């Protein structure tokens, strides 16, 4: 079964709005796992507008599933990976001021940079995933830099799902098949929700993991966190 990694950035955003510790992020992480999540994802941006440096270390002490740290591989990020040794490091090409991830790596133009970073992270015994668009050239480039997995950037799929879901998913199905043929694991994330998740899973038989935060937290406001996680897991079975 495809694993569900819950991105808890939005929980931290709510907490930070009042400057205290409510909701308690560490407790939410424990509860997500207790409710069935098979992983926890964070993206500790330099301005700490949601996940803080302390959060990364505190979560690493309590996470019993797969801890996934996303981010641009600058010195700060690489220090997290070296010291925390999460299960997975997901590399994204975001500049510090970006609101959210909105494009994948150009694995061809940035080949030498990514090769060096991937090798460094793998030397820590950490699995590496690279955030990419569903392009044949980009997937082939990802294989060349030595990554373990690719994470398909699914915002275009989500945007086109309700107009023509078959057309929207076509490039992703092809990318997932090619990645598998090249020996890469396949993750996916961005704007996935209870409407579009099942169809994506059906079209990507090799899908290892999805990372979902914003939609899941929004659903939890109405449905409750435990029920919401179970509903997302059901879409992946």
Pairing mode of beta strands 66-71, 185-189: unpaired
**Could you confirm whether 190 is annotated as catalytic?**
yes
Instruction: Give the count of beta carbons closer than 10 Å to the beta carbon of residue 37.
Output: 25
Q: Say if CB 171 and CB 137 are below 8 A apart.
A: no
CB-based contact 151:130 (threshold 8 Å): yes
Residues 162/41/103/93 CA torsion (nearest 10 deg) = 180
Q: How far apart are CA 211 and CA 78, in angstroms?
A: 21
The catalytic residue among 43, 50, 151, 209 is 43
Q: Are 230 and 236 spatial neighbours (Cβ–Cβ below 8 Å)? A: no
Q: Which of the residues 33, 50, 151, 190 is marked catalytic?
A: 190
- HSE of 211, CA atoms in CB hemisphere, 13 A: 30
Look up 202 and say whether it is catalytic.
no
Distance CA 55, CA 58 (A): 5
CA atoms within 13 A of residue 152's CA, in its CB half-sphere: 34
Known catalytic residue: 116? no
Say if CB 2 and CB 201 are below 8 A apart: yes
Question: 33, 50, 70, 151: which is the annotated catalytic residue?
Answer: 70
Active site residues: 43, 70, 190
């Amino acid at each position: 079964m495809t694993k569900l990694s819950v991105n808890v950035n939005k929980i931290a955003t709510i907490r930070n709005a009042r400057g205290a510790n409510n909701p308690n992020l560490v407790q939410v992480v424990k509860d997500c796992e207790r409710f069935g999540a098979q992983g926890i994802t964070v993206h500790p941006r330099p301005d700490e507008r949601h996940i803080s440096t302390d959060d990364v270390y505190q979560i690493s002490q309590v996470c019993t599933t797969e801890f996934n740290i996303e981010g641009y591989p600058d010195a700060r990020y690489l220090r997290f990976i070296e010291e925390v040794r999460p299960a997975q490091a997901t590399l994204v090409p975001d500049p510090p001021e970006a609101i959210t991830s909105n494009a994948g790596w150009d694995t061809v133009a940035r080949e030498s940079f990514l090769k060096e970073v991937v090798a460094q992270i793998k030397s820590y015994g950490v699995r590496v995933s690279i955030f990419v668009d569903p392009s044949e050239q980009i997937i082939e480039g990802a294989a060349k830099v030595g990554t373990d997995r690719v994470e398909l950037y699914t915002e275009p799929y989500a945007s086109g799902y309700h107009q023509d879901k078959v057309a929207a998913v076509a490039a992703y199905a092809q990318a997932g098949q090619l990645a598998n043929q090249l020996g890469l694991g396949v993750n996916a994330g961005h704007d996935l929700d209870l409407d579009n998740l099942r169809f994506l899973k059906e079209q990507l038989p090799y899908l290892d993991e999805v990372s979902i935060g914003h939609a899941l937290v929004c659903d939890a406001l109405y449905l409750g966190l435990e029920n919401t996680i179970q509903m997302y897991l059901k879409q992946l079975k």
